[in-house]
Structure 1
Amino acid sequence: MARRILSVLPFGVMALVVVVDVTAGSGVGLLPLISLGPAFSGLVGGWRRTLAVGLLSLLLCTALGWYDGLLDSRREYTALASVAGVTAAGLLASVNRLRRERELASVRSIAEVAQRVLLRPVPRHAGHLTTAVAYTSAVAEARIGGDLYEVTPVPDGVRVIIGDVQGKGLEAVETAAVVLGAFREAAPEEALLTEVGARVERAMERELNGEKFVTALLVDISPEYGATFLNYGHPPPMWVPSHGEPVFPEPEEYALPLGLTAHGAEGPKPFHVDFGPGDQILLYTDGVTEARDADGTFYPLGERAGLLADADPERALAALRADLERHVDGPLHDDAATLLLRHRS
């Protein structure tokens, strides 16, 4: 809408000046304001459009000078010089704007490729689970954010990670790449989930030198033993049993985020839920639960668990995301990732 207004603004301004000049007469002295046409034209479109508007404004300025009897006057020459000067400035501004837009498009393209490589699509079916993911970055200009996730099938089940990196944009990519690379390597190799977490921690200490941290939730899910969680300062999962109310299982004591436990702090203790056929687990980042409405009320995720009842997990997450955007009445102010895990009967 704003771009459409800017597109017609140069012609509207010039038309207004013409109408006022013809109606009120030359004594008003609005003739130099014809130069506003090419001035506004440089805000949108290419240099050819700006040049065309500039030539049109010169013609209008000449026609009004003839109508007002000012063709050989200093006022007419001053107005024509103003139009020519503003047109030249508009052309330079248009060329520079187009160059910056091309550079920004290149950065966006690189960011999108980095995001796709970093956050690979989760498998729709992983072992005994059906999975779906939804992710919205708050950094619309870069289209890349600070949340991460991965679903890795292993011989005796599925291992999952979801996390929230300190910082956003391209600075968060390096941290997320270290965490996901270490998790993808350790998840199929380590027997214990705590060892997977320890390897991710060591990778962060080695690669990032303690400069970044990540809140994360690691999950080990098997058909026989349910779900085991390892929480590094991350929001609790939402477990939705097939028959019953949603539950937010939490550890007895929260641990520090990844990247901080290497400084002598004790790591997290695993905790367990009886995740069985027909159950669902929703993993999410704090961009979901900390989203506020106009009154400052946080998003009531537990009350919205019914939105996950759709048989298609992707449609279920889409419904949840749409409800979240209605809650905040607009775009989100923080990255928000949701990962839905369903135990297939």
Structure 2
Amino acid sequence: MSQLPVPRAVHAVRAAVVLGIALVMALDIALRATHPGVVAALAGVAALPLFLPSPRRRSLVTGAATFGATLLLGMGHWRDRPIVIGATLINIVLITALARYLGRPSAPCPAEAAEPDHLRNASSWIGNVRVEMRALPADSTGRMTADFCDLRPTPFGVRLLVVDFMGKGTETQEKAASLLYRWARVAGETPGLAESARRLDSLLAEEDLFAKALLIGVADDGTTTLICCGHPPPLVVADGSAHPLSLVSLLPPLGLFDLVDHDIPIYATTVRLTPGRRLLLHTDGASDTPDAKGALYPLASRAGALDALDPGVCLDRMAGELREHIGASARDEALLLLIECAPQAAASVAPGSPAGTSGGDIADAAA
């Protein structure tokens, strides 16, 4: 999948910044100063984060360093060039503020683009891989801010990311959009899930963020590879029963790898999804939220009991039970996903056909 597009407003801001720098440099040259244009050109350094992928925190460091350098260089020529030096300093401050504001992903937050009913239900086919998703938003608006997922085809097979952020509200929405934007690039560029996890961890650590996550890759033959980063392990559902998948290793949440070990080893767990064998993924809200009496929803036993049903019907039933179980006391979001691989002979539903939606639809629905 290609990189997400940059909005026209960002292009307009970049053009205005370049024009402003050019005007100040032209003014400096017109005044026939010594070393014309040199001090004014420093504003271009502060503008670099607008044109290069850079965390918001780094744009502040760049702006502060450029402001200090301009101030030191301008002190000796202040009497001769007060207008140019003053305009350059103001330019740097404005550019740094813009770079910090625009230093987040330009992709819109899917949670804001989706309707509440669409947020709760999504179905997707990619080749012979089927993913059903049901979500229970914790607030009355029906919008999810912390739990989200993304399913997409890549050159390395089907990739799925399930994330549980801490917190709620607009700030958490921005974090979710940021991680989704970065995952869209990483998933299509890195052949191994371990490398993808390490890159996402580094990107989140740069912005002092962390998130519990599951990274999953599904091959055409049903071989499924998982890396669990502080997230509840999936349930393997087969023959009327469900049990947690035995993980090779449980990693800390993304963004916190270095707190455990700078070169922490990353081991993937592999399971084969043969016909009749499913994988149930869930966030904490589905397994750890008690009812009014303090009892937890029996996720594993219910998944096993409903195993004979179609995946969509199964999750509809479980989501309804979970909503009734939690009731009005819900304080957390809950996400349920069921993955199965149809036999090759039955894999005739293509992405975008009436029987299923494209791989990107789940991202739009749940993020």
TM tier, smaller: 0.5 to 0.7
- TM-align CA RMSD: 2.6
Counterpart of 2:112 (choices 114, 123, 126) is 114
C-alpha distance after superposition, 1:46-76 (max 9, x if no partner): xxxxxxxxxxxxxxxxxxxxxxxxxxxxxxx
C-alpha distance after superposition, 1:105-148 (max 9, x if no partner): xxxxx98862539x998662112211221112213357332011
* SS of 1:188 mapped into structure 2: helix
Gaps of 5+ in 1: 1-109
Match of 1:185 in 2: 185
Gaps of 5+ in 2: 1-107, 344-367
Return 254-263 or 226-235, whichever deviates more.
Answer: 254-263
Query: Per the alignment, do residues 316 and 331 of structure 1 end up closer, same or farther by CA in structure 2, a change over 3 Å counting?
Result: farther
**1:168 maps to 2:168:** yes
Query: TM-score with structure 2 length normalisation?
Result: 0.57
Identical-pair percentage: 28
Instruction: Report deviation, 1:228.
Output: 1.0
Instruction: Report deviation, 1:264.
Output: 5.2
Counterpart of 1:257 (choices 248, 253, 263) is 253
Question: Quick check: 2:240–2:308 contact (8 Å CA) kept in 1?
Answer: no
Alpha-carbon distance in 1 for matches of 2:289, 2:131: 24
Match of 2:49 in 1: none
| Correspondences of 1:19-38 after superposition (within 5 Å) | none
| Correspondences of 1:1-150 after superposition (within 5 Å) | 114=112, 116=114, 124-141=124-141, 143-150=143-150
* SS of 2:205 mapped into structure 1: helix
* SS of 2:164 mapped into structure 1: strand
Alpha-carbon distance in 1 for matches of 2:143, 2:245: 32
Alpha-carbon distance in 2 for matches of 1:135, 1:176: 16
Query: Per the alignment, do residues 115 and 250 of structure 1 end up closer, same or farther by CA in structure 2, a change over 3 Å counting?
Result: farther
Query: Per the alignment, do residues 113 and 238 of structure 1 end up closer, same or farther by CA in structure 2, a change over 3 Å counting?
Result: closer
* SS of 1:246 mapped into structure 2: strand
Match of 1:295 in 2: 293
**1:227 maps to 2:224:** yes
Alpha-carbon distance in 2 for matches of 1:221, 1:314: 19
C-alpha distance after superposition, 1:9-56 (max 9, x if no partner): xxxxxxxxxxxxxxxxxxxxxxxxxxxxxxxxxxxxxxxxxxxxxxxx
C-alpha distance after superposition, 1:142-180 (max 9, x if no partner): 733201101112245311110100111111112111221
Match of 1:323 in 2: 321
Instruction: Report deviation, 1:224.
Output: 3.1
Alpha-carbon distance in 2 for matches of 1:229, 1:250: 11
Larger Rg computed on CA atoms: 1
Alpha-carbon distance in 1 for matches of 2:302, 2:277: 16
Match of 1:309 in 2: 308
Which protein, 1 or 2, shows the higher relative CO under an 8 Å CA cutoff with sep ≥ 6? Answer: 2
Counterpart of 2:276 (choices 275, 278, 284) is 278
Question: Quick check: 1:281–1:341 contact (8 Å CA) kept in 2?
Answer: yes
Counterpart of 1:213 (choices 192, 210, 215) is 210
Counterpart of 2:337 (choices 309, 315, 339) is 339
